[in-house]
């Protein structure tokens, strides 16, 4: 059996791939296709369709089909022989949903190698768009599901989360209410992860427990769909959902489409895809309790493995399945990389200038604070975006650009700390990944706010790496400890230690920031 394993990650803005070699213990290639840049025909510069309603965020699932075709075609250009790959798994942005007809549900996808995936998928779609994790348009549906299921505590205890606008269950309910005929014609509803797994195998793929836990539909304790939550969401829903399965399940082999068109070996096993957060947990070596992970991607997330599920009493945090077994806790903020980029652009700065601004401004930023809600927020729930300031006259007027950028970064770090307190974890180490992890100033602020050592990983593609590791574990039987030791070692020179004097400043600032946010948000 070969030793190359392919991990794919379909995120909000790109499709990425990581190939690992078990024989050499190295990552031999990382590839990324940016949706906006590489596929302008889909009018999705940030990976989703523009909408005049700021609460509505949807993507075109055919974009993901085109990206999968393109990436497979380009593997040889990067020196990767598809026939040498021994196993594949993947990661998809969590909560997004794809709606397909009864033919897809019954027979999977029969794609013609002479054409492309999008051409095969288009007639099978019963809904042209896929609502994604950034969507906040389902508040009414969340309230209806909560009431029908017996209250927020019941929903939270069953599914690990309160009913949340971006989660798949409320999105399904909204579709059922607004397009009942299309819902009736829908034969199967997939997550982004299981949809792409279905494209690879040509079969109607299972939903893994890690990603399935982000739907407000899974009974975590039983590992099966909760009939109570299904009934509260939409009629005949169980029949439209793939079965939930363990993350290590081999769901089939690559289809003839990929064998004939791109040269994959017939019979190459495909392991169930999972969500980007569960895969990132694996990709940064956080599969066992004790390591806290911060991902600074399109959204900002903080997550950790947990031996038993503990739910957030405020309803903002979540419990998902850990692909290595057990559970993981997670808190997510929509105003992540895109919000920081918006602040950068407003100040007319480049990324090197942002780094310089963080270096010349003091910890605590002279008491200048900001609520940086450039888009609707989910932690805490803020449906109407806006930026609120508190501080000196110059800061209030936005005249000091360096202080503005530092205020945004400090706010992002402080809220990570404040809203993750329910996990009951006091880390001595944070493993940081994602695009902004290259920014040393941001990582120093994280180290100081948490008063913990920060380890930065060499790759920003932690979800794709996690998918590759999951494939290696499931197909080759590699154990998690050895995989982590080999592929998830942080760079020694990338370690950042907290400044004790700064840690004292932020310990005092936490309460002040919490009071400021409460006074403005209620």
Query: What is the pLDDT averaged over residues 23-46?
Result: 93
Is it the case that residue 517 has pLDDT exceeding 50? yes
The answer to whether residues 323 and 282 touch, using CB atoms and an 8 Å cutoff, is yes
Instruction: Copy the structure tokens of residue 377.
Output: 């927020």
Contact 370, 126 (CB under 8 A): no
Beta strand ranges found along 297-378 (DSSP E): 300-306, 318-321, 327-333, 369-373, 377-378
pLDDT by residue (tens digit) across 479-513?
999 999 999 988 767 789 999 999 999 999 999 99
pLDDT tens digit sequence for 197-254: 999 999 999 999 999 999 999 999 999 999 999 999 999 999 999 999 999 999 999 9
Q: Each residue of 71-102: pLDDT tens digit?
A: 999 999 999 999 999 999 999 999 999 999 99
Distance CA 208, CA 193 (A): 9
Residue 416 has pLDDT above 60, yes or no: yes
DSSP annotation of 39: -
Res 16 pLDDT > 90 = yes
437 Cβ neighbours under 8 A, 6+ residues apart: 296, 443, 456, 457, 460
b/e per residue, 113-142, with b = 16+ CB within 10 A? eeebbbebbeebbbbebbbbbbbbbbbebb
> CA-based angle 94:64:18, to the nearest 5?
75
Q: Which residues make beta-bridge pairs with 275?
A: 92
Phi-psi region of 288 (alpha: psi -120 to 50; beta: other; left: phi over 0): beta
Q: What is the pTM of this model?
A: 0.84
Cα–Cα distances in angstroms (integers) from residue 496 to residues 409, 451, 457, 488, 499, in the given order: 17, 11, 12, 17, 9
- Joined together, the tokens standing for residue 411 give 């706010």
- Residue 409 and residue 296: Cα distance in Å, rounded? 11
Residue 483, Cβ density class (10 Å: 0-12 exposed, 13-18 middle, ≥19 buried) = buried
Q: Which residues of 227-254 are buried (b: 16+ CB within 10 A; e: fewer)?
A: ebbbebbbeebeebbbebbebbbbbbbb
pLDDT at 458 over 90: no
The residues, any chain, with a CB within 8 Å of residue 323's CB and separated by 6 or more, are 208, 210, 247, 248, 274, 278, 279, 281, 282, 287, 466, 470
Domains and CATH numbers, the chain: 4-278 (3.30.420.40), 285-456+491-522 (3.30.420.40)
Question: What distances in angstroms separate CA 281 from CA 8, 125, 334, 470, one per listed residue?
Answer: 15, 32, 19, 11
Strand 292-296 versus strand 274-275 pairing type: unpaired
Average per-residue pLDDT for the chain: 94
- What digits encode the pLDDT tens for the residues 360-401? 999 999 999 999 999 989 898 898 899 999 999 999 999 999
DSSP 172-224: HHHHHHH-HHHHHHEEEEEEHHHHHHHHHHSS-PPEEHHHHGGGS-EETTTTE
Residues 310 and 422: beta-carbon distance below 8 Å: yes
CA–chain centroid gap for 67, Å, is 18
Confidence (pLDDT) at 522: 64
Is the predicted pLDDT of residue 1 greater than 60, yes or no?
no
Element spanning 245, H or E: strand 244-245
Among 140, 183, 180, smallest CA distance to 163 is for 140
Structure tokens at 91: 């990661």
**Nearest by Cα to 198 from 64, 93, 320, 3:** 64
Question: Rounded CA gap, 232 and 150, in Å?
Answer: 9
Residue given tokens 């029949």 in the structure block:
239
* Beta strand 26-34 pairing with 244-245: unpaired
Q: Is the pLDDT of residue 307 over 80?
A: no
Residue 409's pLDDT band (cuts 50, 70, 90): very high
Q: Are 361 and 403 in contact (CB under 8 A)?
A: yes
Residue 1 C-beta-side C-alpha neighbours within 13 Å? 14
430-456 pLDDT per residue, tens: 988 877 888 899 999 999 999 999 998
Instruction: Kindly tell me if the per-residue pLDDT of 67 is higher than 50.
Output: yes
Tokens of residue 419, six digits? 């809203």
Report DSSP letters for 114-182, one per residue: TS-HHHHHGGGBSSS-EE-TT----HHHHHHHHHHHT-HHHHHHHHSS---TTSHHHHHHHHHHH-HHH
- For residues 257 and 489, which has the higher predicted lDDT (pLDDT)? 257
Give the pLDDT confidence score for residue 172 in this predicted structure. 98
Provide the pLDDT for residue 185.
98
Mean pLDDT of 335-350: 94
Task: For 101, list phi and psi in degrees, rounded to 5.
Answer: -85, 180
């Amino acid at each position: 059996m070969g030793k190359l394993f392919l991990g794919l990650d379909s995120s909000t803005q790109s499709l990425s791939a990581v190939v690992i070699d078990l024989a050499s213990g190295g990552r031999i290639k990382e590839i990324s296709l940016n949706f906006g840049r590489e596929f302008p025909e889909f009018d999705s510069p940030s990976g989703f369709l523009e909408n005049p309603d700021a609460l509505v965020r949807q993507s075109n699932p055919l974009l993901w089909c085109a990206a999968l075709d393109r990436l497979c075609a380009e593997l040889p250009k990067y020196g990767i022989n598809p026939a040498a790959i021994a196993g594949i798994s993947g990661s998809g942005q969590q909560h997004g949903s794809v709606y397909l007809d009864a033919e897809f549900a019954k027979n999977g996808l029969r794609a013609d190698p002479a054409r492309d995936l999008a051409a095969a998928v288009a007639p099978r779609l019963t809904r042209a768009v896929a609502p994604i994790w950034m969507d906040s348009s389902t508040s009414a549906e969340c309230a209806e599901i909560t009431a029908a299921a017996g209250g927020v505590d019941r929903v939270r205890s069953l599914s690990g989360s309160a009913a949340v606008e971006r989660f798949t269950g409320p999105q399904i309910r909204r579709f059922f209410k607004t397009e009942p005929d299309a819902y009736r014609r829908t034969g199967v509803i997939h997550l982004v992860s299981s949809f792409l797994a279905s494209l690879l195998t040509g079969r109607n793929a299972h939903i893994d427990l890690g990603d399935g836990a982000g739907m407000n539909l899974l009974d975590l304790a039983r590992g099966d769909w909760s009939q109570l939550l299904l009934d509260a969401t939409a009629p005949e829903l169980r029949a439209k959902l793939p079965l939930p399965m363990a993350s290590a399940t081999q769901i089939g082999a690559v289809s003839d489409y990929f064998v004939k068109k791109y040269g994959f070996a017939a019979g190459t096993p495909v392991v169930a895809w999972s969500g980007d957060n569960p895969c990132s947990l694996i990709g940064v070596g956080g599969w066992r309790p004790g390591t806290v992970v911060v991902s600074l991607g399109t959204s900002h997330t903080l997550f950790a493995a947990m031996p038993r599920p503990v739910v957030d009493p405020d309803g903002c945090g979540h419990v998902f399945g850990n692909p290595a077994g057990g559970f993981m806790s997670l808190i997510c903020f929509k105003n992540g990389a895109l919000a920081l980029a918006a602040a950068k652009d407003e100040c007319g700065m480049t990324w090197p200038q942002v780094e310089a601004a963080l270096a010349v401004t003091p910890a605590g930023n002279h008491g200048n604070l900001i609520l940086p809600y450039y888009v609707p927020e989910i932690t805490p729930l803020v449906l109407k975006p806006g930026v609120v300031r508190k501080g000196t006259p110059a800061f209030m007027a936005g005249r000091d650009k360096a202080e503005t950028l530092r205020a945004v970064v400090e706010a992002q770090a402080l809220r990570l700390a404040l809203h993750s307190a329910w996990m009951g974890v006091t880390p001595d180490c944070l493993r940081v990944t994602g695009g902004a992890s290259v920014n040393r100033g941001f990582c120093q602020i994280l180290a100081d706010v948490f008063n913990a050592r920060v380890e930065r990983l060499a790759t920003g593609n932690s979800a794709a790496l996690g998918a590759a590791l999951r494939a290696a574990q499931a197909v080759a039987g590699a154990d998690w400890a050895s995989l982590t030791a080999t592929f998830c070692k942080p760079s020694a020179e990338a370690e950042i230690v907290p400044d004790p004097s700064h840690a004292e400043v932020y310990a005092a600032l936490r309460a002040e920031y919490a009071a400021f946010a409460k006074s403005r948000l209620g």
